[in-house]
Structure 1
Amino acid sequence: MSATTTPWLDFLDAQGGRLSASTTPEVIGFHDVAAPASNFVAPLTHLGLMSATGDDAAGFLHNQLTNDVEKLGTAEARLAGYCTPKGRLLATMMVWKSADAIFLQLPREIQPAVQKRLQMFIMRAKARLADVSDAVVALGLAGPAAVAALAPWFPAPPSTAYGVAHADAGTLIRLPDADEISRFQWLTSPEQAQQAWPQLVQTLQPAGAQAWRLLDIRAAMPMVVQATQEQFVPQMINYEVLGGVNFRKGCYPGQEIVARSQYLGKLKRRMLPAVVNATGVTPGAEVYASTDTAQPCGQIVNAEASGDQTHCLVELKTAVLDEGATIHLGSADGPLLQIGTLPYALIDPT
């Protein structure tokens, strides 16, 4: 066990969960059993959660994030980004609303710093930010058996991506499918999660966060992590295609540059899925085109190992693919990236 612990982590440890050695531990698996590709439940302890409350909370966040928060309803969730004044993403997040708070979910490793930066700009606004990462448990459920497993608490789960259902047992959010595998996040109290766990694992196999992140990659859903902060304008990782940018809302940090990237000519960098026969691949690692050995043509956005391979999302100069170049990890003669196809269409501005 790590020195940093909570009743929820203690419970998972007692259930056979293997925890990473970190100040913010994540579950890396259960009972040394290989992670399943579907029909699993995973504690998402790698994700942090902020709440924003107060009369001005929606307006404050609306002026800081890339998406519309003021018109966010309680039956939907949205992606949003938080940018520097130069339009580079400090964070990507999922945002949803309850009757009395707005929630922002993002990687736990960057959540404290992002919260501190947002706090600096509250000033006289009637808004309060709080870290509720330990007060709210996030469970990821995936596969055709997930709906039946959730039925005792959510008999009518959301049927469309980013739909939200609220109940006494917490909040349920439908995530985009990954290769036709349905996915849900259940946000609830640690007590409710501990009570539900034995029943959930009768139907779903317990799994570590890696299984969930692999599905994120298969769905081509990027996440900015510590190693990639300030590396991407939203369009470089397809964030506007995924609904994470609203070009009709008012100003926010970096808005002018994000808008200019959208409307001044064809976008020159995009994100694509890839598989590489290598392990130890990490976000931020540079990739090179076979046609240019001198400088990188992009970098890894997210990566998860699966056996001897790593599945990744990679941000690239689109021109290198148009030229027919092959893409390699680390150097122009490094391991070959097998570039895949996105599960959604890219629509460049005209």
Structure 2
Amino acid sequence: MTEMMNAWLQFLATQGAQVDAATQRVTGFSQTLTQDQLEQGFVAPLTELGLIAVTGEDGPHFLHNQLTNDVEHLGQADARLAGYCSPKGRLLATFLIWKTGDSVMLQLPRQIQAAVQKRLQMFVLRAKAKLLDATDSHIVLGLGGRAAGDVLLKRFSQLPDVPYSKIDGEAGTLIRVADAFGAPRYQWIVTLDTARQAWNDLTAALPPADARAWHLGDIRAGIPQVTLATQEQFVPQMINFELIGGVNFKKGCYPGQEIVARSQYLGKLKRRMALASVDVADAAAGMEVFSAADPDQPCGMVVNAERNLQGGSDCLVELKTAAVEAGTVHLGSAGGATLAIQALPYPIPDTST
């Protein structure tokens, strides 16, 4: 951990934050937010996220040939989701990507950042591109809820008007991500000095929240994130990644592209991601789920999970579509807690024809 990130974590501790030493994730403040507070507005330090900066004149072209989405035509006002696949088409990482000046920024979980960066670096070869660990030189704040926009307008002259749009200003970079809890959500990427100076003003208007509040929003929005527990488990379509703009089928080749394309165009997609809740507080990414109709083998896997405000967990779950149609789905075993499947905020197309 760098001196800058250590200083940020120490500052947060003085503000009442509890931090997991292993993951650097903020796990709590003095109060747990209610549903009304999540909907009204909050600010969350996202210290568990990692960041790779790709620089050099060949940087966009290099990434374009490695990731599932178009990087060469990524504009300064855009942000995008993108995946990095193994040759077998299985996701090693999912990113939020954007440009800052001449650099392309790749955001992913801190726990897998170093390994993913090392793997990407292997394929740079003669390309004029450098991959840098930018994790500890950028502070990421997540702001959500109805009041978040008005708070940010004190720092920015305007706000990104649609999800996955971005603006840059003297106050830093502001990215609007997928809406959740009935309101826009933003990531504000700033320097350490700006973050410390802004914190009191932010928390005077918005209660501070832990990382769980932010990632519950991701889950509710149906936005998956590959983590250490789920690397190489999913082809992009299995976690709806093409439905949320993470795959461009018109771009050129990348690792696993042939398998991803074949999954899209040949036959029915038999596995998809669903939103679910379960009356278990410790559901976690990588846990298997089972169908009561076929109890001897797993029918899917938890992609992401966070403890919800009711004492259970909200989850994104990859599973066989037939399992949902056949009956109940359970966590851990066919006799485990029942998953309550809920509607995602975007449609799942019928691929049976």
**Aligned partners of 1:4 and 1:25 also within 8 Å:** no
**Letter aligned with residue 31 of structure 1:** S
**Which residues of 2 match residues 315-334 of structure 1 at below 5 A?**
315-323=318-326, 325-334=327-336
The answer for unaligned runs of 5 or more in structure 1 is none
* Equivalent of 2:182 in 167, 177, 180: 180
**Aligned partners of 2:242 and 2:248 also within 8 Å:** yes
**Aligned partners of 2:92 and 2:116 also within 8 Å:** yes
Residues 1:258 and 1:56: Cα distance change in structure 2 (over 3 Å): same
Shift of residue 280, structure 1, vs aligned partner: 1.3
* Match status 1:52 vs 2:51: no
Shift of residue 181, structure 1, vs aligned partner: 2.0
State the identity %.
56
* Equivalent of 2:313 in 279, 287, 310: 310
Deviations for 1:260-300, whole angstroms, at most 9, x for unmatched residues? Answer: 00000110000000000012111010101010111010010
Which whole-Å CA distance do the structure 2 matches of 1:345 and 1:175 have between them?
18
**Which residues of 2 match residues 189-268 of structure 1 at below 5 A?**
189-268=191-270
Residue number in structure 2 paired with 1:30: 29
Shift of residue 347, structure 1, vs aligned partner: 2.4
Which is worse superposed, 314-323 or 82-91?
314-323
* Match status 1:17 vs 2:17: yes
* Equivalent of 2:155 in 148, 153, 156: 153
Which is worse superposed, 3-12 or 185-194?
3-12
Shift of residue 239, structure 1, vs aligned partner: 0.0
Shift of residue 21, structure 1, vs aligned partner: 2.6
**Letter aligned with residue 325 of structure 2:** D
Shift of residue 176, structure 1, vs aligned partner: 1.3
Shift of residue 92, structure 1, vs aligned partner: 0.4
**Letter aligned with residue 320 of structure 2:** K
TM-score w.r.t. structure 2 length?
Answer: 0.95
Shift of residue 227, structure 1, vs aligned partner: 0.2
Which of the two has greater helix per residue? 2
Shift of residue 34, structure 1, vs aligned partner: 4.0
* Equivalent of 1:143 in 129, 135, 145: 145
**Aligned partners of 2:38 and 2:181 also within 8 Å:** no
**Letter aligned with residue 318 of structure 1:** T
Determine helix, strand or coil for the equivalent of 2:108.
strand
The answer for unaligned runs of 5 or more in structure 2 is none
Shift of residue 4, structure 1, vs aligned partner: 11
Which whole-Å CA distance do the structure 2 matches of 1:308 and 1:15 have between them?
25
Residues 1:169 and 1:4: Cα distance change in structure 2 (over 3 Å): closer
Residue number in structure 2 paired with 1:271: 273
Residues 1:4 and 1:171: Cα distance change in structure 2 (over 3 Å): closer
Deviations for 1:88-133, whole angstroms, at most 9, x for unmatched residues? Answer: 0000010001222110000010000000000000010000000111
Shift of residue 201, structure 1, vs aligned partner: 0.6
Which whole-Å CA distance do the structure 2 matches of 1:267 and 1:154 have between them?
43
Shift of residue 5, structure 1, vs aligned partner: 5.8
Which is worse superposed, 148-157 or 205-214?
148-157
Which whole-Å CA distance do the structure 1 matches of 2:199 and 2:31 have between them?
19
Determine helix, strand or coil for the equivalent of 2:290.
strand
Residues 1:12 and 1:99: Cα distance change in structure 2 (over 3 Å): same
**Letter aligned with residue 18 of structure 1:** Q
Determine helix, strand or coil for the equivalent of 1:295.
strand
Residues 1:27 and 1:102: Cα distance change in structure 2 (over 3 Å): same
**Letter aligned with residue 344 of structure 1:** Y
**Aligned partners of 1:81 and 1:234 also within 8 Å:** yes
